[in-house]
Structure 1
Amino acid sequence: MNNRFIFELILSFQLLSKNTLKAHLALLGANLIYGINYIVAKGIMPHKLGASAFIFIRLVCATTLFWFLKLIFFNEKIDKRDFPRLILCGLLGAATNQLLFFHGINLTSPIDASIIMTTVPGLVLIFSFLLLKERITNNKLLGIGIGSIGAILLIVYGNNAGGTSSFLGNLSIFLNALSYSSYLVIVKPLMKKYNAITIISWVFLFGFLLMLPFGLPDFLNTNFSAFDLDTYLSIGYVVIFTTFFAYLFNVFALKYVSPSVNSSYIYLQPAINFILVSIYAFILNQTQYQQDIDAIKVLSCLLVVLGVYLISKHSK
């Protein structure tokens, strides 16, 4: 009997280890997708597709995919009292978030955008303190300060930097991070009541309806005859991988690892962008990216990553 118990315990441990490994591989995959997304999305804007039209296409396709999953596998009902919160989540987590991100990446460097997005864990902490009254330790306060210096330095420097950087683009990306961070805090009570697919389906639906007045005119004025195979592949990547699969990977990973482990993978995104931009600039000879890497951006990246590390560090 004891031998059987030990055998089952070892088997359970091995299964848990395999699932944990799969979770980390899923997080790695999701953040590789996000890291590549910056340069893929920028590659077709604005000369082929406007930012608002891009968001329109993304939300139409992603909403359809998520609702297909919801109706087939997770057809649960929502309490009417939760719809105002869902509408607010749609505004912050889908409409405003994506409008600011795509307009921002349209104007600035992929490297700048990926560095600024690593402020999300710190911003989540601030909103959790303001809205959920969660305590902020000295370590976390120091981390917020250091990370903020890095982000502000990068935003201000974007006005004077060469390459594809810009102050307005960097500011839009930071406002996008604010919108997304507040969404993560506001959606938290709903995640305790409903399946994640149910929540994201409604969030994307309301987000689509709220951005319709901005995205539809731009979409109707798009010159689709100018699209080539690369354009369609880029749109397909953003819709299928960045929106659909990356979200599913994150949902799967949250079953086996903590949210803090999940969010820590965002550190990979600036590194992925540095590598991709370097390849584009110095191997593929894309001259518009050759001035996107410099000492100020490296310093900003280090400050933001150090700040997020301090925020994530457990108190003694």
Structure 2
Amino acid sequence: MNVKKQIFKGTLYAVVAGCMWGISGIFGQLFFRDYQGSPLWITSTRLTVAGIILLTLSFIRDREHFFGVWTSKKNMPTLFLYVFGGVFSVQYFYYLAIQLSNSATATILQYTAPVFIMLYLLIFRRQAPKPKSVVFVFLAMLGVFLLITNGDLSHLSISPLALISGLLAGVAVVIYSIVPKPLLDKYGALNMTGWGMMLAGIGCNIFYPIWRVDFKIEPLSIFYVLTIAIVGTALAFLLLLRAFQLISPLVVSVATATEPLTSVFLSIPLFGLKLTPVELLAIIMVIVSVILLSKSEQQV
């Protein structure tokens, strides 16, 4: 695969993953609003369901190497940091931030992740970002901010705990963006995503078991949960890890800014949302920044 095709494919994977997260976020907010479910329960459930689905597919695809990651003790520190510092933490802290504030606040705080990624690369790998890459990253973050708030800070609801939860979700993005790369290259995205989801789900079930249901079970609530688990977890994270194999984590983290775009577009038919000139400008800013940052990766 040539470089341009690889970058295009990786960026596309990240963009689609962001769209799936946007769908999941809308359904998560509806679930909390209508059923007052626990963020820890939805985390346990979505991770467990996603893990079962992905591991089943992985087993069908390649039974011989299904347990490959477990054959070396050297893999364990990386695997468990990826699982609990990344997969579990980003799920839980994001939904906790939504519950403590709102979807807009949680999303903006999580989208500080590109800044944390740049700092990590600078401090630990001595990789200074290109000046224009920094511009594109902040253009995207500004676009996300304007899109969610329409430039009105009163749309934000920030308590100290909500702030900490949202920022921890951003840090978790850095962990699952960078830590599992060696394992991904060796064992594949499907297998590693499946084990990541399952192990994180098992860990979460220890604290909040999936059978501890604290809301009314009915077709609509089941639909919400399954959409969050399948679309917003299993498929989204599978595409995301595949994207990390093809392009830099910085580009991936910016490309997933399609998440709030998807939330806005879905809100138009679902909630009668009307886009303002500021929101239209924000959408253009995000799209342009993703395209420019993706193109800049081709340049040495």
TM-score band by shorter chain is 0.7 to 0.9
1:106 equivalent to 2:99? Answer yes
CA deviation map 1:8-44 (0-9, x unaligned): xxxx99xx98x99987775554332211211111111
Q: What secondary structure is seen at the aligned counterpart in 2 of 1:179?
A: helix
- Determine the structure 1 residue equivalent to 2:29: 42
Residue identity opposite 2:40 in structure 1: S
Change (3 A) 1:200 1:213: same
Q: For residues 61-210 of structure 1, what are the structure 2 equivalents within 5 Å?
A: 61-75=49-63, 76=65, 77-78=68-69, 79-141=72-134, 161-162=154-155, 165-168=156-159, 169=162, 171-210=164-203
Shift, 1:239, TM fit: 1.0
Show structure 2 runs of 5+ residues with no match: none
Instruction: Give, in whole Å, the separation in 1 of the partners of 2:211 and 2:104.
Output: 31
Give the root-mean-square deviation of aligned CA atoms.
Answer: 4.3
- Determine the structure 2 residue equivalent to 1:6: none
Show structure 1 runs of 5+ residues with no match: 1-11, 284-289
- Determine the structure 2 residue equivalent to 1:270: 260
Change (3 A) 1:126 1:243: same
Change (3 A) 1:299 1:100: farther
TM-score (ref. length: structure 1): 0.70
- Determine the structure 1 residue equivalent to 2:205: 212
Instruction: Give, in whole Å, the separation in 2 of the partners of 1:276 and 1:98.
Output: 21
- Residues 20, 259 of structure 2: 8 Å contact kept: no
Change (3 A) 1:198 1:131: farther
Instruction: Give, in whole Å, the separation in 2 of the partners of 1:138 and 1:25.
Output: 24
Shift, 1:98, TM fit: 1.1
Shift, 1:94, TM fit: 1.9
Instruction: Give, in whole Å, the separation in 2 of the partners of 1:247 and 1:280.
Output: 25
Instruction: Give, in whole Å, the separation in 2 of the partners of 1:144 and 1:21.
Output: 18
- Residues 251, 293 of structure 2: 8 Å contact kept: no
Instruction: Give, in whole Å, the separation in 1 of the partners of 2:21 and 2:238.
Output: 13
Shift, 1:127, TM fit: 1.9
Instruction: Give, in whole Å, the separation in 1 of the partners of 2:173 and 2:51.
Output: 18
Instruction: Give, in whole Å, the separation in 2 of the partners of 1:34 and 1:82.
Output: 29
Instruction: Work out which of the residue numbers 36, 52, 77 in structure 1 matches 2:40.
Output: 52
Change (3 A) 1:247 1:144: closer
TM-score (ref. length: structure 2): 0.73
- Residues 87, 172 of structure 2: 8 Å contact kept: no
Shift, 1:73, TM fit: 2.0
- Residues 137, 254 of structure 2: 8 Å contact kept: no
Rg larger for = 1
Residue identity opposite 2:28 in structure 1: A
Instruction: Work out which of the residue numbers 214, 217, 229 in structure 2 matches 1:223.
Output: 214
Instruction: Give, in whole Å, the separation in 1 of the partners of 2:178 and 2:242.
Output: 20
CA deviation map 1:95-150 (0-9, x unaligned): 22211011112233333434444433332232233333323333445566777788
Change (3 A) 1:121 1:83: same
Q: What secondary structure is seen at the aligned counterpart in 2 of 1:49?
A: coil
- Residues 44, 234 of structure 1: 8 Å contact kept: yes
Equivalent residue pairs, number: 288
- Residues 105, 158 of structure 2: 8 Å contact kept: no
Residue identity opposite 1:245 in structure 2: L
- Residues 147, 260 of structure 2: 8 Å contact kept: no
Change (3 A) 1:92 1:295: farther
Change (3 A) 1:50 1:297: farther
- Residues 117, 173 of structure 1: 8 Å contact kept: yes
Shift, 1:253, TM fit: 6.0
Change (3 A) 1:118 1:294: farther
Shift, 1:307, TM fit: 8.0
Change (3 A) 1:171 1:308: farther
Q: For residues 21-40 of structure 1, what are the structure 2 equivalents within 5 Å?
A: 29-40=16-27
CA deviation map 1:225-262 (0-9, x unaligned): x222211100010111111222344456678x645665
Residue identity opposite 1:266 in structure 2: T
- Residues 140, 289 of structure 2: 8 Å contact kept: yes
